[in-house]
Every structure is written in structure tokens, then in C-alpha cells.
Amino acid sequence: APRLPAFKEPTTQGSGDLTGLDLDGRAEGLLFESDDADGVDLEDAVFTECIFRSVALQGAPMARVTFGDCRIEEVNAPVLEAPESGWWNTAVVGGRIGSAELYGATFRSVLFERAKLGYLNLRRAKIKDVMFRDVHIEELDAGTANLERVSFVDCTIDTLVLNGAKLKDVDLRGARLRTLSGISSLKGATVTYEQLMDLAPILAGELGLKIE
């Protein structure tokens, strides 16, 4: 199972305003609530022990942004652009994201809970000790990513892409899978017997087997 912290809500020291805050590259112990980050440059910013609540992150460049010991609640964005970002000891709760561009990101001890994600791009990401709980993902693209101690609980994944991924202790038993690409990369994953039967036609096609 993923090794996760207790995810206690950070104790903030005051409110922040993304549109008017001079981050100077970092923010610590602040509450950002009902904020609109459209056009705010958050590239390379570092947030520690912050709370983001009902913040609109559409239109904010977030390449290489870092979230450490943060809580992100009910964040909405048609497109979230945060490639090569860093996520540590952070909980993402609720919210809806149309396309999450998180390729090349690093995740360590992260919880995603009660969220709806359209396209989750985790290509080339390094993902360790991460749990998805009660999350609906239309397409999860983890091609060429490294996943270790990742679990899914009461989740739905319409399309799972694993081409070239490396898996270790990945628990897919709590995920309802509809389509899978890259079945040869499933080594290191745990599935149920029922899931295995559902994957049998894809496995047969991958191996070139004829079923008569």
C-alpha cells in the first residue's frame, strides 16, 4: 500500500491573493480561497503548507511549480498546465479538471480524492506512494512513467495507457477499467480475477493468440 501521511489540514497564517501576491518564488502557510489565477505566472513557484480552496487555475502557467504539505480543494480548470511540477505530502480533494498536463512531474505521498479528471497526462512522471480514491478519470496516460506503490480505490478509468511504463506494487483492483493500452507494461500490477478475464481479449491480441 502507498505510504501516506495523515494529511492534516495545514495551519495557515493568513490569506493570500494569487493575483496581487508578490510570491518572490515562494509562499508558505497561506490560504488561497475563491481566487482566479488566470494570467498569473506561477512557473517555478514553491508553495508549502498552503491551502487552495475553490481556486480557478485556468490560464496560469505552472511549469515546475512545487506543492509541499499542501491541501488543494475543489480546484477547477478546463486545462491545468503544470508539466515537470513537484507534489509532496499533498492532498487534492474534489474539483474538476478537463485536461491535466502533468507530464514529467514528480509525485511523492499524494492523495487524489473525489475528483473528476478528463485527460490526466502523466507521461514520463515519477509517481511513488500515491492513492486515487473515488476518482473518475476519462483517460489516464502514464506512458513511459514510473509508478511505485500506487493504488486505486473506488475509481473509474475509462482509458488507461501504460505503453512503456514501469510498474512496481501498483494495485488496480479498485479501478473499473474499460479500455487498456500497453498491456505488456502491466508487470508489477495487481488485478482481480474478474479484471483478468476482462483483459483476456486484449492479452490474446497482444500475444497474437487465436481464440476459437
**Residue 36 CB burial class (10 angstroms; 0-12, 13-18, ≥19):** middle
pLDDT at 207 over 80: no
How far apart CA 176 and CA 138 sit, in angstroms, is: 11
Q: By mean pLDDT, which of 39-43, 104-108, 121-125 is the weakest?
A: 39-43
Phi, psi at 194, each rounded to 5°: -65, -40
Residue 22 neighbours by CB under 8 Å, 6+ apart = none
Residue 11 is predicted with a pLDDT of 77
Q: Chain-wide mean pLDDT for the chain?
A: 90
CB of 58 closer than 8 Å to CB of 77:
yes
Sheet strand arrangement including 136-141? 76-81, 96-101, 116-121, 136-141, 155-161, 175-181
Average pLDDT over residues 55-62: 86
Residue 209 C-alpha cell reads as 493468440
For the entire predicted model, the pTM comes to 0.90
Our measurement of the distance from residue 169's CA atom to the centroid of its chain's CA atoms, rounded to an integer in Å, reads: 17
Reduce the DSSP state of residue 26 to 3 states and report it: strand
Which of 26, 29, 92, 89 lies closest to 57 in space, CA to CA?
92
Q: How many CB atoms lie within 10 A of CB 104?
A: 19
Q: How many CB atoms lie within 10 A of CB 24?
A: 8
For residues 169 and 212, which has the higher predicted lDDT (pLDDT)? 169
- Which helix (H) or strand (E) element contains residue 199? helix 193-207
pLDDT at 37 over 90: no
Share of the chain above pLDDT 70, in %: 98
For residues 21 and 99, which has the higher predicted lDDT (pLDDT)? 99
Average pLDDT over residues 88-110: 96
